[in-house]
Amino acid sequence: MSTTFVRAEEETGSDASLRQAYESSYLKQNQRFVGILGLAAGLLQLAFLMVDLGHVPRDAGQNPVLFMRIATGVSAFTAAWFCIREAIGSFRLLSRVVSLLECAAIATFLVVFNQYDPPHYLIQTLGLIFLVMIIFFVPNRWNVTLGLAVAAVVAFSLSAWLKLRGTLPANEYWAGVFYMAASVGLCGAVSYMLDLRSMNEFAAKQELIRLNTIDPLTLACNRTKLVADFDRWSVYSKRHHQPLSLALFDVDQFKKINDELGHLKADQVLRDLVALIKEHLRNTDIIARWGGDEFVILFPGIDPEGAEQALARIRQALGASPLAGTIAVTCSYGITGLEKDGDLDTLIRKADALMYRAKRSGGDRVCRSPLKAVEQEA
């Protein structure tokens, strides 16, 4: 595993979460492509149906061929319609749809093979190899793709042995098995390397995003990330008439900690402070380092009164948990809420004035502005 992969995994929390994010991105990039492949697969089923009807005996043998070709073709067209419209919302669902269609294609191939009388083994072997290549070509989870390809080869080999064991030379049979197994091995290896490369490229991209949006000292968001998140949440709040609160705070007497204990200890205080606060925030809340020992917390969907309650829990936790081992730390907070036509700079100025009011009052307290409802934009 590469160093980039490890760092990205630590940021997202686990290999599973990184894989989930990768698959979500993969879905957005490939869903329309899967739809086009599904459309081509449906047309191919109809084309093969014309060929099969000319070779399968005109008795009950044509009925299963007709049913399987039409059912697989209609299923492919249906899946293509949803994929082209990008109506499939998760990669897991897309994987299941693709896997079911590939299972249907394998089953159709086997049914048609058993209806030919007699089938040409080597020609059908080439057809199976072509089907395996298509299975690996369609975007899906690598382990699922490999499992389907192996199942197709095993099922066809068994069917061929049962149907042709009295007429098929052993060397010809095993040569076909070898070529099919070799095609699965080669396609599997290439597919795995491409998947791994794509995964590592995604992890590297996530790492670059992390470096551009995370404060390296405290692991809080930086200003760039805060501005982007504020823009997104402010639009949402105004559109849906939801509150949005912002708190600005800094560490009381931080200069004293820095002068008496040194920069390393002061840096550890800031790291521990952010880590403690994150434990008491919701997943939607954003904490960002504004500069020095000043931090901003964005509270989507919470009015200033609710934000004050959240900060009360943080203040209580700070009082019970010394930072950097033994240092008791308090903070002064200013809270304000988003108003009509409000922007980030306006909220920061208001919260900054409130924070200094709290600091002039002795520190370790919260000052907030009254809530003003967000009005609908004309």
- Cα 199-202-208 angle, rounded to 5 deg: 145
Verify that 118 and 69 share a domain, yes or no. yes
Residue 243 domain-assigned?
Answer: yes
Verify that 196 and 254 share a domain, yes or no. no
Verify that 15 and 136 share a domain, yes or no. yes
Verify that 186 and 251 share a domain, yes or no. no
Verify that 180 and 230 share a domain, yes or no. no
Verify that 153 and 186 share a domain, yes or no. yes
Last residue of one domain, picked from the residues 146, 181, 212? 212
Verify that 86 and 26 share a domain, yes or no. yes
Low-confidence ranges of the chain (pLDDT < 70): 1-15, 54-62, 370-378
Verify that 188 and 100 share a domain, yes or no. yes
Residue 143 domain-assigned?
Answer: yes
Residue 218 domain-assigned?
Answer: no
Query: What are the tens digits of pLDDT across the range 197-230?
Result: 988 998 888 888 888 889 999 999 999 999 999 9
Verify that 32 and 109 share a domain, yes or no. yes
Verify that 230 and 164 share a domain, yes or no. no
Q: What integer pLDDT is reported at residue 8 of this predicted model? A: 37
Residue 375 domain-assigned?
Answer: no
Query: What are the tens digits of pLDDT across the range 108-160?
Result: 999 888 887 778 899 999 999 999 999 999 989 999 999 999 999 999 999 99
Residue 373 domain-assigned?
Answer: no
Q: What integer pLDDT is reported at residue 55 of this predicted model? A: 67
Residue 344 domain-assigned?
Answer: yes
Q: What integer pLDDT is reported at residue 376 of this predicted model? A: 34
Nearest to 48 by CA among 103, 101, 100, 108: 108
Q: What integer pLDDT is reported at residue 104 of this predicted model? A: 94
Verify that 207 and 254 share a domain, yes or no. no
Residue span of the structural domain in which 306 resides: 223-368
The residue count of the chain comes to 378
CB 218 within 8 A of CB 289: yes
> For the domain that residue 308 is a member of, what is the CATH number?
3.30.70.270
Last residue of one domain, picked from the residues 191, 212, 233? 212
Q: What's the structural domain count of the chain? A: 2
Residue 128 domain-assigned?
Answer: yes
Q: What integer pLDDT is reported at residue 1 of this predicted model? A: 34
CA distance 309 to 147: 53
Verify that 136 and 81 share a domain, yes or no. yes
Residue 275 domain-assigned?
Answer: yes
